[in-house]
Structure 1
Amino acid sequence: MTQNSPQFDPERIARELDWNLLRTFVVLAESHSVTDAASQLRLKQPTVSTALKRLEDRLGRKLINRSPGHYALTEAGRLLYREAVEINGSVLRLSTLMREMTDDVRGHVRIAMASHVVSPLIDQALAKFHTAHPRATLTIDVQSSAKAIAEVAAKRASFAICLVGDHNPALEYRRVFREYFGLFCGPPHPLFKRENLAISDLEGHGSVSFETDRLQDVLKAVTVMRAQVALGQKITGVSSHLEEVRRMIVAGLGVGPLPVHVAARDVDDEQLWQVPPYEDLPAIDVYLVWSEKAVKNRAEQILLDGLLEVIESTPLEDRSYR
């Protein structure tokens, strides 16, 4: 069947394609099986299988390869998923946009936030926004940085504040602040409160860290630091949430990395103790990530503009927390 066949006529597809089928396909693409997708959609499995078959018939392409123990998108399925995610996100926002067409700014803003992002710039922008628009509402979802960016790309989040690895050309990025990571231990650890420690004193001790603490990931600089002090071989605990990494460090599970400015209060409260190295600490940048393609409600646009304004009016040295 050629691409010029009536089967692929754009007008016919636009006329006959059911948006509900696209919504179902997005869930199917993000699931591990039809059964899993049916559970999320609260539908019976045969209903979901029929919807997939109808979509494949409409498009004239197989979208998911299914067999016992195997469930994967085809090339056509991957292409459709990329487009369907954006379409589905736009449709979901329509009712919200219509509801918020009032004189007051009453929109809802959903921020996908990396774990324990600490910056007075963000607090300042949120305070100013709430004072000016008290009827607007806000949700902050704490997620891994990769998930936060995916939520923005899928138009399920207004914007994200997180760490960034590879830049998606479809999204916009602006550095909010720079933080520096040091290594810390907790009260049960044998190095706690020991003065005049050298890097050699850390050798052989176990460590805890972040799931993204890998050479190919966003905390590569932290991975290198751990390797330099011989903490790379024995990792006793990992988490994608800073609070849980901190919990494991305080509990004595091992030496672990934390942003120095975030750990400062715990150091003062004698819950954490910084260990070498003390100089040339790895710098990690935290970004504001958003999509220019996403149609924003008034509240989203106002808060985004407020964040960009406070970032651009503050020199980088004043946004670097050592």
Structure 2
Amino acid sequence: MSPVEPAALLNDRIDWNLLRTFLAIVEERSISHAAARLHLTQSAVSQALKRLEGHLERRLIQRHGTVFEVTPAGEDVREIAEQMYGSMSRLGPALVARSDEVAGSVRFLTASRIHSGAYDSFLGEFHRSFPLVELHIEVMKSADIISALLARTATAGLGLCPSSMKRLEKRLFLRQRYAMFCGRGHRLFGRTDAQIADLLGENFVSFTSDLIGGGLSPLTIFRDQNGFSGRIVASSSNHDEVRRLIFAGFGIGYLPDHSVLQDISEGRLWRLPPSEGVADIDLHLLWSPEKLMSSAESTFLESFHRYADRFTLSERLSVGINP
């Protein structure tokens, strides 16, 4: 872009959907992941990036093998595009002729203990925008969420999902960093010098989905790769019950690190090595494209997507996000 080219001329040339695609590429740090999120082919996403770079006459992304880097020009475009789409995402509710005409029931399924300021504030905003919609939220195991969605008995769900899932659509909503913890009565509680070698023989508290092929299998892989020999002495599919069992001293266990900050500060849990955590576990928004949705259900799902577009993955974990 010539430095003297009028901004109005550039505005006329740019397809604003290119910016949305660019944001997805930057957030996912992958052409293929962005394509999956946007329900497009990798070729279409690559071409969109090429068109945007052509319009702006700037390189926005540098890729060398597995290295993915946003250029300084790309960071500028990202910041402006995020501001623009933050404003545009609020147009949806404003353009609904009469939101109080949307009525009905929504059945939404979630895994236990979802910690997300964006999720919390979305629920508040949705209720204010569509007060006649009845929202029924049920907490269950991710496997049961998937079964219910496949049976088309629920609107949507938020949970763990295998890498390949036929007949369901999914969108990455949260990426949680899991770390290892012990309770106050454990021999390693308060040990600042503890090493992974000190943990190898310790018994474990586990999630029932912590199995090879299950939603939490990266945790099993970490344990096996590092040679942990302790037994799994207790398990639960529920976050709070796993946390309770660790409190009670059954053994060490994994928990999402952002979900237990208060427990750590109040001396109920102690974080164990490795300091960088163990694995990232993804939670997806899930729904069935085969389900015939009511007006209330389609409004809920569309509103969820629009609200998620306002925030990056890391921002969705933050507490205290204002509606």
Pick the TM interval, shorter chain.
0.5 to 0.7
Quote the residue 1:306 is aligned against.
303
Counterparts of 2:158 and 2:189 in 1: how far apart (Å)?
33
Quote the residue 2:178 is aligned against.
181
| Structure 1 residues 266 and 228, CA gap change in structure 2 (3 angstroms) | farther
Counterparts of 2:231 and 2:165 in 1: how far apart (Å)?
33
Quote the residue 1:29 is aligned against.
none
| Structure 1 residues 107 and 138, CA gap change in structure 2 (3 angstroms) | same
Quote the residue 1:242 is aligned against.
239
Quote the residue 2:202 is aligned against.
205
Quote the residue 1:128 is aligned against.
125
Instruction: Report if aligned partners of 2:116, 2:317 keep a CA contact under 8 Å in 1.
Output: no
Quote the residue 1:316 is aligned against.
313
Quote the residue 2:291 is aligned against.
294
Instruction: Report if aligned partners of 1:203, 1:231 keep a CA contact under 8 Å in 2.
Output: yes
- AA aligned to 2:224 is A
Counterparts of 1:318 and 1:232 in 2: how far apart (Å)?
37
Instruction: Report if aligned partners of 2:100, 2:130 keep a CA contact under 8 Å in 1.
Output: no
Q: Which has the larger Rg?
A: 1
Counterparts of 1:150 and 1:124 in 2: how far apart (Å)?
28
What displacement does 1:319 show?
A: 3.8
Quote the residue 1:258 is aligned against.
255
Q: Which runs of 5+ in 1 are unaligned?
A: 1-101
What displacement does 1:124 show?
A: 1.8
Which residue among 219, 225, 231 is the counterpart of 1:222?
A: 219
Instruction: Report if aligned partners of 1:223, 1:232 keep a CA contact under 8 Å in 2.
Output: no
Q: Which runs of 5+ in 2 are unaligned?
A: 1-98, 319-323
Quote the residue 2:102 is aligned against.
105
Counterparts of 1:237 and 1:157 in 2: how far apart (Å)?
31
What displacement does 1:317 show?
A: 4.1
- AA aligned to 2:313 is L
What TM-score, normalized to structure 1?
0.64
Deviations 1:175-215 (A, max 9, x none): 00101000111111111112221111112111101111112
Quote the residue 1:161 is aligned against.
158
What displacement does 1:103 show?
A: 6.4
Instruction: Report if aligned partners of 1:112, 1:143 keep a CA contact under 8 Å in 2.
Output: yes
Counterparts of 2:229 and 2:164 in 1: how far apart (Å)?
27
What displacement does 1:165 show?
A: 0.9
Deviations 1:113-154 (A, max 9, x none): 111121112112111111112222111111110110111111
Task: Specify which structure has the bigger relative contact order, considering alpha-carbon pairs within 8 angstroms and separated by 6 or more residues.
Answer: 2
What displacement does 1:233 show?
A: 3.7
Runs of 4+ residues over 6 Å off in structure 1: none
Instruction: Report if aligned partners of 2:100, 2:129 keep a CA contact under 8 Å in 1.
Output: no
Deviations 1:88-132 (A, max 9, x none): xxxxxxxxxxxxxx9632211111111112111211211111111
Aligned pairs for 1:18-57 within 5 A: none
| Structure 1 residues 142 and 232, CA gap change in structure 2 (3 angstroms) | farther
Counterparts of 2:290 and 2:259 in 1: how far apart (Å)?
34
Counterparts of 1:217 and 1:303 in 2: how far apart (Å)?
28
What TM-score, normalized to structure 2?
0.64
Instruction: Report if aligned partners of 2:157, 2:287 keep a CA contact under 8 Å in 1.
Output: yes
- AA aligned to 2:310 is S
SS of residue paired to 1:218 = coil
Instruction: Report if aligned partners of 1:192, 1:273 keep a CA contact under 8 Å in 2.
Output: yes
Q: How many residues align?
A: 220
- AA aligned to 1:290 is W
